[in-house]
Amino acid sequence: MATTLALAASISPGLCARSEPRRLPAAPAPAQLRRQAGRAVTVRRAAGTQTMVTEALTQEEFEVMLKEQPATLVDFYATWCGPCKLLASHMSKIEPEYAATVRFEKIDTTKNYELAKHYRITKLPTLLLFQGTEQVDRIEGVLSAQDLDLRLRSKLQLH
């Protein structure tokens, strides 16, 4: 018992998960309104990236969004999902290379339940790659930035 107390006393309070100071969330990126199907949809950029985070969409609005770009990579995520955050960091590393050819979108599954249900999103994170409105690839789970880059190049036939 005395050894346990001595060990506990020797641990720095900064190393204990319970004693970490709370971090304030980053200020949200400025929001903009996108008009789709006669209704305003809130869209914002993910912090430090070109990725568009769409707040709420219907299936029709989603299809209109897909038609706007020749290729779209959609990240279905949840704010509470740790692997989703890891994948987002990998996506931000390769995003600048694809700025001219692929649109990166993030769809929060908790706010867009019907859309996630329509595309049978059962695992998080899930990436769907679309060319126009046709789904050409599905990635479930986390990939490294290099593996994601290779997968996109092969599916989009980029060299």
Tell me how far apart the alpha carbons of residues 39 and 131 are, in angstroms, rounded to a whole number: 25
**Single-letter amino acid, residue 20:** E
Q: Does a cis peptide bond (omega within 30 degrees of 0) precede residue 28? A: no
User: Is 84 an annotated catalytic residue?
Assistant: yes
Can you point out the beta strands (E) in 8-64?
A: 31-36, 39-45, 52-54
Catalytic residue chosen out of the listed positions 57, 73, 74, 84: 84
User: Is 16 an annotated catalytic residue?
Assistant: no
Catalytic residue chosen out of the listed positions 29, 56, 64, 81: 81
CA dihedral sign, ordered 114, 69, 53, 138: positive
H/E run at residue 71: strand 71-77
Catalytic residue ranges: 81, 84
